[in-house]
Structure 1
């Protein structure tokens, strides 16, 4: 068994968001030189059950193993008989983590540093297009590059958000939104403070704002934006009927803790 390969794969698993509990099953599969195998990870985000199946394969020429992809299945509490599935591929660059994958599957946007075919780094916002899917049933992921002109910090500055007054809180808020999280924020209005929830919306160069009941409160949303989002959510719900509008999410999701189970092998 290639020990360096084991350490590399162990780090890949860890930094893709699956934790540190897979060394033993990974080592066992590599020692018996199984040509291909899966490791299964189960967790929860809020009330949503999430299962990820990590796919590994052995090189035909050497003793090296590769972490190729992982398939995520999201099961809603109010629709336990259906699950939305999407496969995410592992690249040499900055991979999409499990939480980022979940956020994309929830319809939110994620900001990533990516690598093109020439090996050059570039930055882009990613968002899943629920109206387009490939032959394997995977939804297309749209990219909004730097030259698209979405400036998250400038967009946030247009709103009376208390956290922007503190550089540390501001940085944490921006980092969380870039990971695709639905993030709580304190809005100040005529001497009063109100807790609301926000998410990045690079396509329309704005942010989406929700109240404590997860109802959209941004009255400046354009007619085009409303129609586009309605069509996207309709397409997402029609895909096996498993997804609910974001307004149905519990308001404590941004702070929800993951519940881990022991890894399994298939």
Structure 2
């Protein structure tokens, strides 16, 4: 094992924000000289569980390993509890015995289950003795799917490939935010001609996937697109903006695509909300702790509220005038 290669990969994984446990598993596989291996992780997001697969491959010309890509997929169903796995159980050729396939990724578990041609069960739990049934089949025909699991079973989450070049690319947290539909700010983008630029990046989750089954990426260039995060934040009465350190932290979180907590006043009381950047509309979205959207206009500063009201009145007058011209 090339120790320089190991140290470089450790540094790359740390810079990309992957867990220490994954770094340790990578080292174990490299020491065992496994030519190609995949590391898996699950992270709880705001909208569900995000499954991650990291792909490592040894060079054909040397003993060096490379991490050129990883993928993320969002499972909007119930996330796995600590120690749990998806289980595919089917009778073995030995009477009274069962075959059990264990998977941490729900899409992979569903795929294994559907490939069976006899009797099988898809479950979730710590082991076959402590499980909750999700689906069953008899003689290759599916005869039961748990109601709460039905949507996930019919439409398993598809992965989004995230490319990495020498440890540079979207970090783990940024990729999670992207697959959950939030925008991420990058200062290190390059055109095909090698020219640097800055932009907010957002997956087009409502559009079709490309020929590689990935979502396309929308880009909102900075400053040409016109979304200025600082100016948008200044329109709102947000307590964290009162101190430079807290403001810097909030801006960094929003640029990372996070949904950080802010403090605002509602009905005379201070309340905590979650906020996210929406560069496409040069706005912010705000949410209560339970995920319910909040009307951002109620948290605008007085001057900004007057501008919004004035703009609305102008639109209303224009609408009335156009109606009066009708024949």
Task: Please say which of residues 36-45 and 50-59 is displaced more in the overlay.
Answer: 36-45
The answer on whether the counterparts of 2:262 and 2:272 sit within 8 Å (CA) in structure 1 is yes
Deviation at 1:170, TM superposition (A): 0.9
Query: What is the aligned counterpart of 2:211 among 119, 130, 135?
Result: 135
Task: Please say which of residues 185-194 and 10-19 is displaced more in the overlay.
Answer: 185-194
Query: For the pair shown, which has the larger CA radius of gyration, 1 or 2?
Result: 2
The answer on whether the counterparts of 1:94 and 1:112 sit within 8 Å (CA) in structure 2 is no
Matches within 5 A, 1:90-239: 90-92=164-166, 94-116=168-190, 117-130=192-205, 131-146=207-222, 147-188=224-265, 192-213=269-290, 214-218=292-296
Q: What secondary structure sits across from 1:182 in the alignment?
A: coil
Deviation at 1:21, TM superposition (A): 2.0
Deviation at 1:218, TM superposition (A): 3.4
Q: What secondary structure sits across from 2:293 in the alignment?
A: coil
Specify whether residues 123 and 192 from structure 1 end up closer, same or farther in structure 2 by C-alpha distance, changes over 3 A only.
same
How many residue pairs match? The answer is: 221
Specify whether residues 208 and 25 from structure 1 end up closer, same or farther in structure 2 by C-alpha distance, changes over 3 A only.
closer
Deviation at 1:169, TM superposition (A): 1.2
> Can you give the 5+ residue segments of structure 2 that lack an aligned partner in the other structure?
79-147, 298-307, 312-327
Deviation at 1:45, TM superposition (A): 3.0
Q: What secondary structure sits across from 1:133 in the alignment?
A: coil
After superposition, give the CA deviation of every residue in 1:176-197 in whole Å (9 maximum; x if it has no partner): 1111111222223685433322
Deviation at 1:129, TM superposition (A): 0.2
After superposition, give the CA deviation of every residue in 1:214-234 in whole Å (9 maximum; x if it has no partner): 2241357x9xxxxxxxxxxxx
Matched, 1:7 2:85: no
RMSD: 2.5
> Can you give the 5+ residue segments of structure 1 that lack an aligned partner in the other structure?
223-266
Q: TM-score, normalised by structure 1?
A: 0.73
Distance in structure 1 (CA, Å) of the matches to 2:167 and 2:283: 28
After superposition, give the CA deviation of every residue in 1:99-151 in whole Å (9 maximum; x if it has no partner): 21111111111112223145444321110101131122211111111121211
After superposition, give the CA deviation of every residue in 1:66-97 in whole Å (9 maximum; x if it has no partner): 10111112222265533342111112474212
Q: TM-score, normalised by structure 2?
A: 0.61
Distance in structure 2 (CA, Å) of the matches to 1:29 and 1:180: 32
The answer on whether the counterparts of 2:179 and 2:203 sit within 8 Å (CA) in structure 1 is yes
Task: Please say which of residues 133-142 and 41-50 is displaced more in the overlay.
Answer: 41-50
